[in-house]
Amino acid sequence: MAYYELMIETDFAAAHSLRGYPGDCARLHGHNWRVELYVACEALDDIGLAVDYKILKQELKAALADWDHYNLNDVPPFDSINPSSENVARVLYERMAKRLNDERLRVSRIAIGETCTAKVIYRP
């Protein structure tokens, strides 16, 4: 079955520390987190779009607003779960699925990078 997959990128700045980690990452430190949002669609709308990129950018920015320039350890749900890249990716996926999924469009995956050389991809 053919489908379209669209991707947008953004970033946000946030600090975190990994509770129970046996190394440097247990101390508070910051990242410029890179985010890739992927959405999939099988059918285009009446003007030939899966979704307007502007909508994706607005929704992603809104979903990241309470993380940008914060210590993630102080922000729910990371005040009770470790703000690892893996957990950040899963939580962001869940947020974006609630914001975007409908009968035509679905979030297909989220990629989160703490650095330019390491990232995690989450897809359910």
Residue 26: CATH number of its domain? 3.30.479.10
Residue type, position 26, single letter:
A
> What's the domain range around 106?
4-122
Sheet holding 29-41, edge to edge: 70-71, 4-16, 29-41, 105-115, 118-122
Calpha distance 23→83 (Å, rounded): 15
Instruction: Encode pLDDT of 35-77 as tens digits.
Output: 999 999 999 999 999 999 999 999 999 999 999 999 999 999 9
pTM: 0.95
Q: What is the pLDDT of residue 2?
A: 75
The average pLDDT across 28-38 equals: 97
Domains contained in the chain, number: 1
Confidence of residue 97 (pLDDT cuts 50, 70, 90): very high
